[in-house]
Amino acid sequence: MKRFLSACCLALASCAAFAVYPDKPVSLVVPFPPGGSTDAIARLLAAKLHDKLGQDFVIDNRAGATGTVGAAFVKNAPADGYTLLVSSLGPFVIAPHLFKAVKYDTLTDFDPIMIAVQAPNVLAVPTNSPEKSVADLMAHLQRDGAHVRFASSGSGSSDHLSAELLWQQTGTQGVHVPFKGGGPATAALVAGKVEAAFVNINTIMPQVKAGKVRALAVASGRRSPLLPGVPTLQEQGIKGAEVQSWQAVAAPKGLPPEVTRRLHTALVEVLKEPAVRDQLLAQGFEIVADEPDHFRIVELFENVRYKQLIEARNIKAD
């Protein structure tokens, strides 16, 4: 009986300790430099989580090796809720299949908390392009694919993999032209230096609305509310080439369930705020705010999908 009572007391003490979480600042590790989409989302979440949970949430930018440096840092941090990873899909489901020396296993070294937002890629061409539809572009690829250049933000990026999926699903082949980042790739598309590109919607949307590029398709299962007049690839007869870029929150493996629940609840409340939702939508992001179990299912599916694609297409990192 004494042992039972002692165990109960320890359990209660543990619950009481986590009930006050957080009682010190929390580090949100962003595995990319300041100024990008992931960084912007992390900073928005940090400010709102401070309001919800009463502690500072501090951004820690740890860039390097396509996000894997920051992810490895979080993997090795204590699983106490005071070091969290805020990242796009790259370090979770793409980079581990591009680099042999990645020092973590996404599925065993992290506890999922939430996919916060997602944004589809958009297939776009220069405004002066003769291609007015996906069918036109497919005809060009089938006729002379060796001269249809697709820009990307780099080898192994989601926009590069979007193009590879398109070619794989349609039995065509274009020319991949990698740039050092989404900005230069978009600039090349606007200038007509390449024939096409898949670009994340939050990056390309201003160029589409300004008439600087023409959007042919959205690479998602349904039309985007940001570009409702642009049909999906599937609507135009191409299946299996959907690519959603997403931003998620995870923790080192072993996060106490009480902390996971507290963080998840606070994040859901933040993302449900009308002002936050409107701000993210204006930037091209759709709210996901899913459960940890659903996040894990997405990870499992996309790990298999991108591993198979990278191997089948012999894709190498820059």
Q: Write down the domain spans for the chain.
A: 24-119+244-312, 122-236
User: Which residues fall within 8 angstroms of residue 264, CB to CB, at 6 or more apart?
Assistant: 113, 114, 291, 292
Cα gap 234→236, rounded to integer Å: 5
Residue 318 binned pLDDT confidence (cut-offs 50, 70, 90): low
pLDDT at 282: 87
- Check whether 159 has a pLDDT greater than 80: yes
Q: Report the phi/psi class of residue 202: left, alpha or beta, with left for phi > 0 and alpha for psi in -120 to 50.
A: alpha
Cα gap 239→235, rounded to integer Å: 9
The mean pLDDT value of the chain amounts to: 92
Closest CA to 161 of 207, 235, 98, 104: 98
Fold matches, 24-119+244-312 and 122-236? yes
pLDDT at 3: 52
Do the Cβ atoms of 194 and 219 come closer than 8 Å? no
Closest CA to 116 of 159, 160, 85, 147: 85
- 24-119+244-312 domain in CATH 3.40.190.150? yes
Q: Note the pLDDT tens digit of each residue in 229-273.
A: 999 999 999 999 999 999 999 999 999 999 999 999 999 999 999
User: Which residues fall within 8 angstroms of residue 289, CB to CB, at 6 or more apart?
Assistant: 114, 115, 116, 267, 268, 271, 272
CA distances in angstroms from 160 to 15, 214, 311, listed in the order given = 46, 19, 14
Pairing outcome for strands 196-200 and 110-126: antiparallel
Do the Cβ atoms of 249 and 48 come closer than 8 Å? no
Q: Note the pLDDT tens digit of each residue in 61-88.
A: 999 988 999 999 999 999 999 999 999 9
Cα gap 223→212, rounded to integer Å: 21
Q: Note the pLDDT tens digit of each residue in 164-215.
A: 999 999 999 999 999 988 889 999 999 999 999 999 998 899 999 999 999 9
Please compute the mean of the pLDDT values over residues 117-121 and round it to a whole number: 95
33: how many CB neighbours lie within 10 A of its CB?
12
User: Which residues fall within 8 angstroms of residue 85, CB to CB, at 6 or more apart?
Assistant: 29, 31, 70, 71, 74, 91, 110, 249, 250, 251
Residues pairing with 178 in the sheet = 152
Topology of the domain comprising 122-236 = D-Maltodextrin-Binding Protein; domain 2 (3.40.190)
